[in-house]
Structure 1
């Protein structure tokens, strides 16, 4: 396995180096370096609020130490349920209780029996390798962004109706910009930890990475990937001491505002609401519809499920129907629509209430182990990978963890965590 990794990273490093030596990228990085120096030495930077801004937040130990604990997934899930206009059925209430209990056991109780050593033997990664992988993923995503825009003949944000003409084969690679910038941000965090760059330089680079994500994802008109970019950068910055607690709170409010705003204006453009409609209604109605879907899926799935893994397996490219199309077929016999089933929708349809408890326990365990490794090591890479899987777990509260690229992120994280568990046990 180490031979395969060494070969792949060697190739990726060469590609990254070639691009960095090209005239185009030399010019770009020269300009960015100039802007960064102006930023770091700017007089206006002194006008920016200090670390002590909203200092009362720092006195809250729960926020300061556990803001992005795995239990944040359950908090978001509970808030999502409260946001819906209608209540859950008795059967779904029992399913949700099993889901919450399973997740709590997985993230808070089971990890106590693992990783009792100092973790000096866990897998370590070279910063150059991580940066190069992130850089190449970002390049691929930018190329496919222009292919996606060209394929529909316009920018979806400006013409919302053409967003539905976007082809998944072109748009899915665009979302690689999220793990790409996650890895690049992790590499910059390593530079900051090694004191190769200052905190101001690290903050500038984080902001620039977020700006790149926003520029490309916003133009495609997607809300969820945009929020993913915000969350990942904020979580990495928070645990890397690059972003302050008050900035996390403000960033969260901006992220929520972006979701509401994009959804509101897109709904206006599609004439599904009028200008007199409450902007929060789009969020409430979406939560209510998704909860209604979950009620139906819970009724269909019962105690032991009906698809027995086929729904999750349909995420594999080449499947006749994708997971969310299968959900549409199950509840409405319509295969031309995609419907979000929430985090536990796939679990209850595949394996019923029993499956919900087991899968949520496993998800909680993966996040719990990731959180424990990150806390013990403070390693830049483990901060990055935990940020990635926690972000998609939180977003999966509505959408489910059903996209093939997201499943791959979890598969990579699980593989790395398993190696670390085995090494720490020896």
Structure 2
């Protein structure tokens, strides 16, 4: 395995080096270096609020130490349920209690017995992680322009053409999220090693976020846009690059972006009027998704219906994707994609029993990642935890059903299991 890793990273490092040495990227990095210098030494930067701004937030121990604890997933799930206009059925209430209990046990109880000694953890080279992230960003930028060209316009300006985007072309664009995660983590490593200042690290984080927002906003996608915000904020927070008050403000901006984009897109599609409350589109979306979950819970019962086929349908080449399968199960319509929430796939595949087991496993993955990150303060483990927590939070509505997201979790599980094994030697 180490031979494969060494060969792969060596190749990626060469590709990354060649691109960064090219005339185009030399100019780009020179310009960015100049702007960064002006930013760091700018008089106007002094007008920006200090770390002690809204200092009362720092006095709250829960916010300061546990704002991105895995249990935030349950908190957001609860808010999502409260947004819905209708209540849950008795059967679904039982399923949700099992889900919450399983996740709590997996994230807060079981990890106490693992990784109490982190002296032998895996170490990843900063250069390797940066090169992988850089190449992923390059791929996403290329496919962004290909996607725009394929529909003949910008989806944000013409909402109707967003539905003409082809998943085979847009999926690579979303690689900008893990790419940004790895590059930002690499800059965090530079900051930890005192190779760059905090101001330089903050500028680079802002630039990465601005680049992500530009690409994803123009495509008209809300969920990946929020993913970009979350990844940068979580890495910055645990790397002492972003202050707590900035996390809170960033969270409000992220929620506002979801509401705003959804509102204006709904206006463009004539599904609501300008007199409708902006939050109404979010409420109706939550209500519809909860209605879907009620139906899936009825179908799944105690032991499930599809027995793993929905999760397996995430693999490219399947006749139906998982969200199309949801459409077929509840309405016999395979031409639409329907989000089933975080536990929708679990209950259809394996019923209430499966929900408890899978949520326990999911909680354990996040709990181990959180513990490893807190004990080591290692840049890589901060990055990988930020990535999987981000997609779990977003999965509260959408579910963990995209193949690339499942790959991120598979990598995290593999790395965590190796560390658990090494800690027991």
State the TM-score, normalized to the length of structure 1: 1.00
Give the corresponding residue for 1:244.
Answer: 243
Give the corresponding residue for 2:321.
Answer: 322
Is 1:143 aligned to residue 142 of structure 2? yes
SS of the counterpart of 2:234?
helix
> Residue 116 of structure 1: CA displacement?
1.6
Paired residues, number: 425
Give the corresponding residue for 1:291.
Answer: 290
Is 1:419 aligned to residue 415 of structure 2? no
Tell me the distance in 2 between the aligned counterparts of 1:386 and 1:62.
Answer: 19
Give the corresponding residue for 2:256.
Answer: 257
Instruction: Summarize deviations over 1:3-49 as a string: whole Å, max 9, x none.
Output: 00000000000000000100000000000000000000000000000
Tell me the distance in 1 between the aligned counterparts of 2:187 and 2:115.
Answer: 27
> Residue 366 of structure 1: CA displacement?
0.2
Tell me the distance in 2 between the aligned counterparts of 1:262 and 1:357.
Answer: 34
Give the corresponding residue for 1:99.
Answer: 99
Tell me the distance in 1 between the aligned counterparts of 2:382 and 2:131.
Answer: 18
Tell me the distance in 2 between the aligned counterparts of 1:52 and 1:173.
Answer: 40
Give the corresponding residue for 2:5.
Answer: 5
Give the corresponding residue for 2:353.
Answer: 354
State the TM-score, normalized to the length of structure 2: 1.00
Give the corresponding residue for 2:234.
Answer: 235
> Residue 120 of structure 1: CA displacement?
1.5
Is 1:340 aligned to residue 339 of structure 2? yes
Give the corresponding residue for 2:127.
Answer: 128
Point out 4+ residue stretches in structure 1 off by more than 3 angstroms. none
Tell me the distance in 2 between the aligned counterparts of 1:80 and 1:155.
Answer: 30
Tell me the distance in 2 between the aligned counterparts of 1:114 and 1:66.
Answer: 20
> Residue 286 of structure 1: CA displacement?
0.3
Structure 1, unmatched stretches of 5+, are none
SS of the counterpart of 1:45?
helix
> Residue 416 of structure 1: CA displacement?
0.3
SS of the counterpart of 1:70?
coil
SS of the counterpart of 2:149?
helix
> Residue 235 of structure 1: CA displacement?
0.1
Instruction: Summarize deviations over 1:320-378 as a string: whole Å, max 9, x none.
Output: 00000000000000000000000000000000000000000000000000000000000
> Residue 194 of structure 1: CA displacement?
0.2
Tell me the distance in 2 between the aligned counterparts of 1:386 and 1:85.
Answer: 33
Structure 2, unmatched stretches of 5+, are none
Alignment map for 1:322-401 (pairs within 5 Å): 322-401=321-400
Instruction: Summarize deviations over 1:149-195 as a string: whole Å, max 9, x none.
Output: 11101110000000000000000000000000000000000000000
> Residue 121 of structure 1: CA displacement?
0.6
Tell me the distance in 2 between the aligned counterparts of 1:97 and 1:38.
Answer: 53
Instruction: Summarize deviations over 1:244-300 as a string: whole Å, max 9, x none.
Output: 000000000000000000000000000100111100000000000000000000000
Tell me the distance in 2 between the aligned counterparts of 1:114 and 1:193.
Answer: 26
Tell me the distance in 1 between the aligned counterparts of 2:146 and 2:418.
Answer: 38
Tell me the distance in 1 between the aligned counterparts of 2:293 and 2:383.
Answer: 31
